[in-house]
Amino acid sequence: MVNSKRLLTKLTLIPFEMVINAMPFFHKEKVVWELSVEQKMLLQNEWQRLKRRNDGIKINLQSNNKELVDRIRAETKRHNKNNVTRTTAYLTFYNKYPEIRWSFLAHMVSRNAGYFMSDLKGEFLPHILEGKFIDKLYDMLEKGNSMIFEDAYPQLLLYEESKKRGISLFHLSHHFNISPFIEGVWEVHLRREDQSSLLPVAQIINEQSHIEKALVQTEEYKQLLDSITYRLQEWLKLSQILFPTWPLKYSLGRNMTHFKNLDERIQIGQNLYTTLFQHRYVTKIHNFANTFPHTGSRSDYDHHSFTAFYTSPEKFAKEKLSFFKMKKNRKIYSPLLLDVWKLTFNGPYQSSEWFEDEEYVLKKMKLIYKYSPSIWITYWSALHKIETVFLFSQYYKLFKKNRNL
């Protein structure tokens, strides 16, 4: 009877989640912001000016600016130590300058990258995925996290210093290999005091384009993203972006799929931005972020279901999940990130120099929102999928051992 109930749980929840996630196909995308004619003209003029400057001779740094450039480089390197330090730095900056909304989006997405990295060494995945695949996937996640930070954090610090001095300091951008695309956007944002979605939309495009050539499209990671094992993790919905609120069943988020497609990544970034900054939710999510420092363990947001403390596995694998909760006195091992991953990347990386097609980015300069069903249903369904695959793998190993196969 107990076994039949367990089977019913999974046979009910997993198909139900598939039906729920089919619902967005019946909802049209909604453009909630797009580039105005004036903004387009200002950007094109700015990009032309920067092209003329970059084609010319670069002027040596004045002593006070050299000190600033050296300080920004040192501060970026210090915070680029690992996923935990990067994630914390984004939130610290947003708390000081809440008008730069992308920094909070970056904090929450970086949090989820850390959770995924920890999952790779957690309760289930080491028994499901190949060891080499786990190491390679971690490398890609860690490098991407680090590359984006190395590019984005100097921008944030230039903005901070520009505010303090009352003048734009973004003419120093090329000393940090920052793309002329986003430099031009910052100049328009500062000079016009632009309060629209121009800056965060451009930041999403810039960071995803930045890692496209330098990471995603390299032969090493193209093979990873094309592998059957990677498609398995997509089916299991391992790479979800979760924005926790209380009660947790009202949490927000999105599924991260088709990572190798730049357009898809930009669109999911836009959807995450509009999802995160819904007026009735953003304060709750911000309170969570400030209340619970990022550790990489999912126990940060759900200590009832997860534990960061490792316990020896039982002789026979047993089910721990029940619909939207854990079975009595059972928890899933979700380690602290820095306890299980020692190898980190913090550059320096070469400039991607991705900004070549002006018309392409102008078409992308809009904010699109598409309905998404409750992430909590998808989230728990994914946990049940992972546990099911884990249990089958354990039972199969036991069967082989008993049959001396």
Rg value, the chain, Cα: 23
| Long-range pairs for 394-400: beta carbons < 8 A, 24 or more residues apart | 394/127, 394/317, 395/317, 398/316
**Around Cβ 330, how many Cβ atoms within 10 Å?**
14
24 — pLDDT class (breaks 50, 70, 90): low
**Would you say how long the chain is, in residues?**
405
- pLDDT at site 98: 97
Query: Tokens for 182?
Result: 């986003």
Tens of pLDDT, residue by residue over 201-225, are: 999 999 999 999 889 999 999 999 9
In this prediction the pTM is 0.92
Domain ranges, residue 95: 2-402
User: What mean pLDDT comes out for the span 8-32?
Assistant: 64
Q: Backbone dihedral region of 177: left (phi > 0), alpha (psi from -120 to 50 degrees) or beta?
A: left
Count of domains observed in the chain: 1
**Around Cβ 127, how many Cβ atoms within 10 Å?**
15
Tens of pLDDT, residue by residue over 329-386, are: 899 999 999 999 999 998 889 888 899 999 999 999 999 887 776 788 888 888 988 9
Assign 72 to helix, strand or coil: helix
Assign 33 to helix, strand or coil: strand
- Tell me how far apart the alpha carbons of residues 180 and 269 are, in angstroms, rounded to a whole number: 21
Mean pLDDT of the chain: 89
φ/ψ of 228, rounded to 5, equals: -65, -35
Tens of pLDDT, residue by residue over 260-280, are: 899 999 999 999 999 999 999
Tens of pLDDT, residue by residue over 91-114, are: 999 999 999 999 999 999 999 999
Element (H, E) at 8: helix 2-22
3 — pLDDT class (breaks 50, 70, 90): very low
2 — pLDDT class (breaks 50, 70, 90): very low
